[in-house]
Structure 1
Amino acid sequence: MRLGWALLLGLVGGIALAWWLSREPPEAQREKRERAEQAAAANAEDARPVLYRWRDASGALQITDKPPKGRKYERVDVQPLDGIEVDGSRQ
């Protein structure tokens, strides 16, 4: 009978030890959460629509969705409106 209890206690102790060693320390959890938040912020920034303002060889202002190669350009962030605009005067 004592052997059965010893085996059961050893099994429970082994499971508890395996669980304890597989845990992440709080610092690692915090760092992982911060990296995830930074990645989410970067993805949100990349998802925002962007336009590029530049002048062509004749000096005409161009606004495109892709930056020109070999020319100076200005990045114009476009912030979409939240929600849907409903205007009853439009026909």
Structure 2
Amino acid sequence: MELRPAWILLGLAGVAALAWYAARDPSADSGPAAERRDAAIRANAEAASDAGVLYRWRDAHGVLQITDTPPKGRKYERVERDAPPAIEVHGERE
């Protein structure tokens, strides 16, 4: 019967360790692993911000082009790939 208090203390220590691990601040980590994680988060954010954009422009012959990369040396318009939630009506025409 003397083992029972020892097992209870060991269980409580394990629960306390798990609670500490779950409550810690992951942004407080430092070192190369944290730098790699932060760089990956930034790269994903940049890729996500450009993922929904198309570029509309006219070539030298006046033909409308729509591409996923902006043209060099030409005027272009950024167009979101996802449709807006409501219809937008503008009076100007090109």
Normalization by structure 2: what TM-score?
Answer: 0.47
Normalization by structure 1: what TM-score?
Answer: 0.48
The structure with the largest alpha-carbon Rg is 1
